[in-house]
Structure 1
Amino acid sequence: MATFMNRRRAIGILAAASGLSLLPFGSAVTPPASAVDWRGQALGAPAELRIHHHDLAHAQALVEQVAAEVRRLERIFSLYREDSILVSLNRHHSLVAPPAEMVDLLAKCRSHWTLSDGAFDPTIQPLWSAYQRHFSSPDADAAGPSARVLGDARSKIGFDRVVFSRDRVELPAGMALTLNGIAQGYITDRVVALLRAGGIGSCLVDMGECRAVGMRPDGNGWRVAIADPDDAGRQLTVLDIVDRAVATTSASGFHFDSSGRFNHLLDPRTGLPAHRYRSLTVVAAEAGDADALSTAFSLMDSASIAAVAKKVGRMDVRIAPIGGPELVMQT
């Protein structure tokens, strides 16, 4: 059975120590004594974690460790928790003694911002807020925010103006960060590291982005289905992945307006929503990279995507265009 890649699906982690078989999520079969289940909330979505291990106490400790780590990182990166460190940074424009994870993630953002020539830019939050405010009005102009409003928002965008170090993070007045285009992948990578350190040799981690460790116990790759953004019950393709991460970005994930004209893929260089592709999928070694690049590539033409993919190396890019067959790039 394939795991469906869709940003609206529940978060799940399915893992086993070497030599143990896995039960699929939702299985009616009673798990063996060595299986530990956890269900709750993570990153604003329903979450499910199942770990199989020869040592039940060790499995329970791993479950608790992973759940605690996800909650801890969410308190750093979430844009929707009033008590998060990111919300505090956006409110006060300054952060003293930032968590190491915040500095690490900002460094990764800088790398992807440079690599994509500004297509990936976490300072896009003022532009998002401008669209949100506009369409929250009961008499909102269907044509979208005015050129003046968009121009003002764009004047507050530019990751090159973010100053950060191990000691401090500084944002110019009026600027704000969103890490939604990379944080899920980053957290996925952190969870994978915890599971590997705990002796897990086979797992599929889905924190909104998907990463496989090793093969399935039957010797096959993990099957990840890419959903058709226009028909959630249909698959564009099914990938077999081993020690790889998969991230998909689609304009259909969120719209500010009922007509679907203004989507969440806002281009920091133009201030306008992207309508280049139906969806774009990146397969890379780490989920953080796949997450950030699937976002950036959704705003770039195919030639620019190919150039970046070649520079990064060992990457698959699958583009579902608006009309026409799927385009696959492999480096």
Structure 2
Amino acid sequence: MRSLFSFLSLMTLIIQACQPKVGDEVMRINRGKAQGTTYNIQYITTQGTDYQREIDSIFAFVDQEMSTYLPTSTISRLNAGEATPIERHFFNVLTLSDKIYQMTGGLFDVTVYPLVQLWKIEDPNFTGAIDSSKVDSVLNFIGFSKIAYDSTSVKLPAGIKLDLNAIAQGYTVDIIAEFLESKGISNYMVEVGGEVRCKGKNINDKIWLIGIEKPVDDPNNQKFQIIIKLKDKSLATSGSYRKYRTMPDGSRLSHTINPKTGYPTNHNLLSVSVIADDCATADGLATALLVMGLQEAKQFAAKHPEYDYFFIYFDRYKGYQTWSTEGFSKFVEQ
């Protein structure tokens, strides 16, 4: 959901080659485009069952619930002021968003949509000229604590709008993974737009290998910064080096907006990767840490060792540099 659900700029690539069939076990591979991005889903089944149709239905379901690009979606109707009931998955995403909002001191905030609409970073006619008074005015409508919700409804005060783009993609990965598990599949890799969740091993009895991309502008010249082994975990990466707008003075405006200041982020942290049990949590945290910047993100990592982190940043004297937590090292492919 790179272009539909989020403006994330980093694409995590799957680099594990697999044999399609060994004995009675069959590796099913479902690849394609959905929700404005690409997906790559691989799973081992002894029955040879292909779940492409069910996976397509999951993508369509999440779109209809959480896509701001669909005027008839649940989130679009809520943002339009309609009294629209919500169902379990929407409630789950709001609950997790609330948790990450609290954890990050408000730097992950799904009420950021009015700021996204104000800045319009991806609009080809965008000039970058936003009056500070307009930003200050929009900030009055930002803040997760201003909304009320329960398992069946959401109450949005006038002017407040939701944007689940920074977490819905990871949640989609989780839904698909959990669907596969419900079918008795214990070896799979689910990747949607770079966010990935792996369980078990591939058809060659090897742990899934995932590449984290180098921060280069050219998507046709992709190289890996590091390769990790991912088993029974999820990985999400958020970056600011590809989705940006160059201003007339040569400066860059990132697609990532700080919900507390109201302005696009402008610092040397280029890429944040987070490993967590579920992909939605990893997705939300990666976005929030990218907003924080390097030093604050390091402090957050120290306070939350239950997750593992890998950062790529630019040092004006040393060039591109990396930083990771000690726990991350056990995932690195040697």
Tell me the distance in 1 between the aligned counterparts of 2:122 and 2:201.
Answer: 48
The offset of 1:40, in angstroms, is 4.5
Contact 1:112 1:293 in 2 (8 A): yes
Tell me which moved more, 194-203 or 217-226: 217-226
The offset of 1:8, in angstroms, is 7.0
| Alignment match of 1:271 (pick from 258, 262, 267) | 262
Contact 2:87 2:152 in 1 (8 A): no
Q: In 2 relative to 1, CA 100–43 (structure 1 residues): closer, same or farther, beyond 3 Å?
A: same
The corresponding residue for 1:252 is 241
Contact 1:11 1:47 in 2 (8 A): no
Q: In 2 relative to 1, CA 294–243 (structure 1 residues): closer, same or farther, beyond 3 Å?
A: same
| Alignment match of 2:322 (pick from 303, 306, 326) | 326
Q: Deviations over 1:11-38 (max 9, x none)?
A: 98x9xxxxxx9448xxxx9xx9956555
Q: In 2 relative to 1, CA 33–285 (structure 1 residues): closer, same or farther, beyond 3 Å?
A: closer
TM-score computed with the length of structure 1 as normaliser? 0.82
Tell me the distance in 2 between the aligned counterparts of 1:246 and 1:189.
Answer: 11
Q: In 2 relative to 1, CA 7–65 (structure 1 residues): closer, same or farther, beyond 3 Å?
A: farther
The offset of 1:237, in angstroms, is 1.1
- Give aligned-pair identity as a percent: 22
The corresponding residue for 1:261 is 252
Q: Deviations over 1:196-245 (max 9, x none)?
A: 11122211111121111112343432111111122542221111111111
1:237 aligns with 2:223: no
The corresponding residue for 1:79 is 68
The offset of 1:137, in angstroms, is 4.6
Query: Helix, strand or coil for the counterpart of 1:317?
Result: strand
Structure 1 residue runs of 5 or longer lacking an equivalent are 1-5, 15-20
| Alignment match of 1:156 (pick from 134, 138, 141) | 141
Q: In 2 relative to 1, CA 100–50 (structure 1 residues): closer, same or farther, beyond 3 Å?
A: same
1:98 aligns with 2:89: no
Tell me which moved more, 307-316 or 261-270: 307-316
TM-score computed with the length of structure 2 as normaliser? 0.82
The corresponding residue for 2:190 is 205
1:107 aligns with 2:128: no
Q: How does 1:17-36 map to 2 (within 5 A)?
A: 22-23=18-19, 34=26
Tell me the distance in 1 between the aligned counterparts of 2:12 and 2:53.
Answer: 19
The offset of 1:193, in angstroms, is 0.5
The corresponding residue for 1:228 is 214
The corresponding residue for 2:288 is 296
Q: How does 1:129-168 map to 2 (within 5 A)?
A: 129-132=117-120, 137=125, 140=127, 142=128, 144-168=129-153
Tell me the distance in 2 between the aligned counterparts of 1:322 and 1:106.
Answer: 34
Contact 1:39 1:48 in 2 (8 A): yes
Contact 1:132 1:256 in 2 (8 A): no
The offset of 1:300, in angstroms, is 1.7
RMSD over aligned CA atoms reads 3.0
Tell me the distance in 1 between the aligned counterparts of 2:79 and 2:211.
Answer: 36
The corresponding residue for 1:18 is none
Q: In 2 relative to 1, CA 38–265 (structure 1 residues): closer, same or farther, beyond 3 Å?
A: same
Tell me the distance in 1 between the aligned counterparts of 2:41 and 2:90.
Answer: 25
Tell me which moved more, 162-171 or 296-305: 296-305
The offset of 1:47, in angstroms, is 3.9
Tell me the distance in 1 between the aligned counterparts of 2:324 and 2:12.
Answer: 27
Tell me the distance in 2 between the aligned counterparts of 1:8 and 1:107.
Answer: 26
Contact 2:245 2:254 in 1 (8 A): yes
Q: Deviations over 1:262-292 (max 9, x none)?
A: 1111101111222331111111111111100
Aligned length: 308
In structure 1, what residue type is equivalent to 2:155?
Answer: E
The corresponding residue for 1:216 is 202
Q: In 2 relative to 1, CA 9–101 (structure 1 residues): closer, same or farther, beyond 3 Å?
A: same
| Alignment match of 1:182 (pick from 163, 167, 172) | 167
The corresponding residue for 1:54 is 46
The corresponding residue for 1:41 is 33
In structure 1, what residue type is equivalent to 2:215?
Answer: P
Contact 2:64 2:74 in 1 (8 A): yes
The corresponding residue for 1:123 is 111
The offset of 1:165, in angstroms, is 0.8
Structure 2 residue runs of 5 or longer lacking an equivalent are 1-7, 328-334
Contact 1:123 1:175 in 2 (8 A): yes
Tell me which moved more, 253-262 or 144-153: 253-262
In structure 1, what residue type is equivalent to 2:243?
Answer: F
Tell me the distance in 1 between the aligned counterparts of 2:119 and 2:81.
Answer: 22
Q: Deviations over 1:108-152 (max 9, x none)?
A: 0000000000010011111111111896657x3x4x311011111
